[in-house]
Structure 1
């Protein structure tokens, strides 16, 4: 005899209600009474879903693969294989908090079956790297097991839902990863980039100290933690992160990603700042790799400090910091920077950084910051960052702090660049 949805609901109600009826017989037991539901059938189904997810979470935190597999519909060999990869990925991560919650408002029956879809919220904390557990959402399909008394995870993939809800996936959700951790750096690699792990970890570990020697660690507990560095060939997980990155995901060699505590609740703040390195940069020399890593680590270390400041300052400062450990002769300037600099009539804005000449405008911004540091002292760069945060009026701040206008500052930065690199 088949077990239908109605039978499942009847059993769920009995499973919840009977212990409640027997509660007076328990005397002085310290056990908490189980929840009771008298509402819709979905509430009863949600209890079974949550039990399955609780078992799944306990399996991860207790390193119990057998328990993890028991939460799956093991008749689907593709699901089992994919979830084995996910398990292997998680076992490499320094996981602290790991828990699920069913969003009961999203439970939806699958027509013609006894299955249900539901959104689940995962809270996952990387110990030493996240200031708080990161909450992401996914949509799971649940299926009644043969006994009719339990629910199993039948799918963790709903392509349509994922297209409509981007930004929830991490590399360990999507592909097989290789993890290396040392020196305050958690490196996430794949089978094509793991050979570069030592170079990336060394650049990031040294870079953390180089950056802090210039900008400090600040008072932000997020920026003071270790850093997660992604170096994977497939950047699929970046889809939907445009609003969380410092830089353009489609063009950049490197990005800094602000990972929110909860993407749907901006007020909860940022859990961590992580760095993405495009795999193509791994073929470059250690000097080039180190410079890029220090640039991104400057953004990660500063965190929310200076949020809303103009790009010429945030990107120019990151470039300024990135070259500090390098001998002046090794501080490469893009070939087009000098010619673009001659056209500068003001400090570059969003349009210049989005143009085909963006690399040259980065260089112009860098040399504007070099001029400020040389003429007024490096600390004034951070003073400007603080004063210009939140979209403050640029001309007023520049006049008060430097006694210059934007066009004058741009011209002096370009002049210093030309003096340094011109023939």
Structure 2
């Protein structure tokens, strides 16, 4: 993902409270802890099933029956959530109560409990994602049901970062074109046409260079661009570099955040709103860079940054005429002093933009001398932290230092007009 390189609000209508209805077949909730909260879990699951069905079928009345409608603030907040999901291509959605987490609130008839949401975006996720949240349930007025009275537990959420999506946080604006799902807000949606166009053509351009990755990936791509930083703040320690400084990020969305072994449901792209006013060519290049990461997915995970970022830069410029492939001036200043391939310290420095360019030209050198497929072979060979000091001589016949110097040499010759 790029770091130092050019790299809400739908109107919410006031809701009228629906009349409360009783379901005489439902037994009343227990008044004490009981033995294992089996009855409580059953009633909570019924409420969650009602909520899920309302969301799946766009039935707002059914959805609101799962809520404590005596709280106008909750109803309004949840209406925003309902409106957000109604815009998404939801393929699968259901809740499951984590019965072992049911915790009674002392001195009340309320219960905190963790709930698991399985949500799959049709055409964009290889599998539904499972995320946890903590809801508060209370007895309904008729005493026969448990209804949701809060979906927010700040302390719990602080302890479980990276557990939310933009549609969980506030109003979103969704725009779509073939194969691209754009998530915007009222301040960024005016750029939707340019973003969707860049992502749509970028998907084809990137796949034309990379070819098949061998992964069973969904065909569509999700692109976020929202000004509220709350979503990115939840990604602490889950991205390379500082999300607040990034012009673009590629985000791996796990199938289950509590079980890494289940793999990744999809790779989504975030564009910082500050890049949306860039010329179309600059925006397109940034989008192709991030789409390269998203398309490669887990391939090359653990490879050195110079290779993963260099490949993304290399792919991002292939659809451009050579004369339009801009290079930061600082990269040429660095070239004479480059003695080795850059590492994490260089990518985190003030010269990061120049080091991205150096990495790009190392990859240009590999592709020009050994052929483009060698870049992807190197990703495979250098994955999982393999020792590049051993792999590069075996595969290319050069040391890391020699490769770096040959890459910047090609860069200097190209931009000085020499052969």
Given the two structures, how large is their TM-score scaled by the length of structure 2? 0.90
Q: Is the contact made by 2:138 and 2:146 (CA closer than 8 Å) also made in structure 1?
A: yes
Out of 220, 224, 232, the residue aligned to residue 226 of structure 2 is 232
In structure 2, the residue matched to 1:11 is 28
In structure 1, the residue matched to 2:133 is 138
In structure 2, the residue matched to 1:416 is 410
In structure 2, the residue matched to 1:108 is 103
Separation of aligned partners in 2, 1:145 and 1:125 = 31
In structure 2, the residue matched to 1:45 is 40
SS at match of 2:198: helix
Q: Is the contact made by 2:134 and 2:153 (CA closer than 8 Å) also made in structure 1?
A: yes
| Structure 2 segments unaligned to the other structure (5+ residues) | 1-25
Query: RMSD between aligned alpha carbons?
Result: 1.7
Q: Is the contact made by 1:120 and 1:137 (CA closer than 8 Å) also made in structure 2?
A: yes
Q: Is the contact made by 1:178 and 1:194 (CA closer than 8 Å) also made in structure 2?
A: yes
Shift of 1:355: 1.4
Matching of residue 311 in structure 1 with residue 302 in structure 2: no
Out of 236, 261, 269, the residue aligned to residue 267 of structure 1 is 261
Summarize the alignment of residues 129-208 of structure 1 with structure 2, pairs less than 5 Å apart. 129-208=124-203
**Could you give the per-residue CA deviations for residues 60-95 of structure 1, whole angstroms, max 9, x where no partner exists?**
112211000111111111111111110000000000
Equivalenced residues, count:
391
In structure 1, the residue matched to 2:22 is none
SS at match of 1:249: coil
Separation of aligned partners in 2, 1:165 and 1:391 = 28
**Could you give the per-residue CA deviations for residues 143-195 of structure 1, whole angstroms, max 9, x where no partner exists?**
10011110110011111111111111100000100111112111001000111
In structure 2, the residue matched to 1:90 is 85
**Could you give the per-residue CA deviations for residues 109-155 of structure 1, whole angstroms, max 9, x where no partner exists?**
22232111111110000000111110111111101001111011001
Shift of 1:250: 2.5
Q: Is the contact made by 2:161 and 2:236 (CA closer than 8 Å) also made in structure 1?
A: no
Q: Is the contact made by 1:246 and 1:257 (CA closer than 8 Å) also made in structure 2?
A: no
**333-342 or 273-282, which deviates more:** 333-342
Shift of 1:13: 6.7
Q: Which of structures 1 and 2 has the bigger CA Rg? A: 1
In structure 1, the residue matched to 2:249 is 255
Separation of aligned partners in 2, 1:11 and 1:290 = 58
Q: Is the contact made by 1:217 and 1:301 (CA closer than 8 Å) also made in structure 2?
A: no
In structure 2, the residue matched to 1:3 is none
Given the two structures, how large is their TM-score scaled by the length of structure 1? 0.89
| Structure 1 segments unaligned to the other structure (5+ residues) | 1-8, 15-37
SS at match of 1:86: helix
**Residue 265 and residue 288 in structure 1: after superposition, are their counterparts in 2 closer, same or farther (change >3 A)?**
same
Separation of aligned partners in 1, 2:263 and 2:282 = 33
More relative contact order, 1 or 2 (CA 8 Å, 6+ apart): 2
SS at match of 1:188: strand
Out of 293, 299, 321, the residue aligned to residue 293 of structure 2 is 299
Separation of aligned partners in 2, 1:259 and 1:10 = 39
> Comparing both structures, which one devotes a greater share of its residues to helix?
1
Summarize the alignment of residues 54-65 of structure 1 with structure 2, pairs less than 5 Å apart. 54-65=49-60
